[in-house]
Amino acid sequence: MLREAVLRLSPGTLHLSATRHADRITLQVNHTAPIHFLDSFPAPVDEKHVFGLVWPEAAGLRRLRASVQPLAPSASPLEQGDAFYARGELADALAEYRKQAIASGSTEFGQEARVKQAFCLVGMEQLAEAIELLEPLVAESGERWPLVASCRLWAVRLEQDELEQATRCSTALPPASPRRKSGR
């Protein structure tokens, strides 16, 4: 979802902060209220990282800092699956997500693991198995993962030219919840 915010800033130094913890990205300008985003797949933590910065020539830059925290030695199957997925090792990721799904059942972590299993299966071109995971998840309660499952199921149905089923997926999506616009 795209969001726009108008910020009233005083003249002077501009402080921009962007952090990422697992799947949560936080952006903040000066001391305004932070804006949070969720990403289905956290960035890989065991690879070399790079980032780019597009900056106007006329604007000065006093300091730029970047850091990364490595994957914990006792990472959960979900975290290990994310690392495998980020490297394109889908079969290994799928195995880790299955472990997490079994351990977590119908909890939010279990839902996340099943959605990510389906992403792996789609990547491995095992669409029928992906659909079998996604369809029941769409009907479960939850704010995040059933919606992600609905969107992925819709995309799979479109990829298969199953327009009628795709339409059913899109009409089953919950209405968008009103979001507060920050900084106005």
Instruction: Identify the bridge partners of residue 25 per DSSP, sorted by sequence position.
Output: 20, 37
- Distance in angstroms (rounded) separating the CA atoms of residues 76 and 130: 23
What is the reported pTM?
0.67
Chain-centre distance for alpha carbon 173: 18
Q: What pLDDT score does 180 carry?
A: 42
Q: Which CATH architecture has domain 77-171?
A: Alpha Horseshoe (1.25)
Show the tokens assigned to 15: 């402080």
Pairing of strands 24-29, 16-21: antiparallel
Angstrom distances, CA of residue 138 to CA of 27, 48, 153, 155: 30, 36, 9, 13
Full 3-state SS string of 86-124: HCCCHHHHHHHHHHHHHHHCCCHHHHHHHHHHHHHHHHC
Show the tokens assigned to 19: 């952090």
Print pLDDT tens along the chain (184 aa).
Answer: 456 767 777 777 778 878 776 667 788 888 888 887 777 766 655 556 667 778 788 777 777 777 766 666 788 899 889 889 988 899 999 999 999 999 998 899 999 999 999 999 999 999 999 999 999 998 888 888 998 898 888 888 888 777 777 666 655 555 555 444 444 3
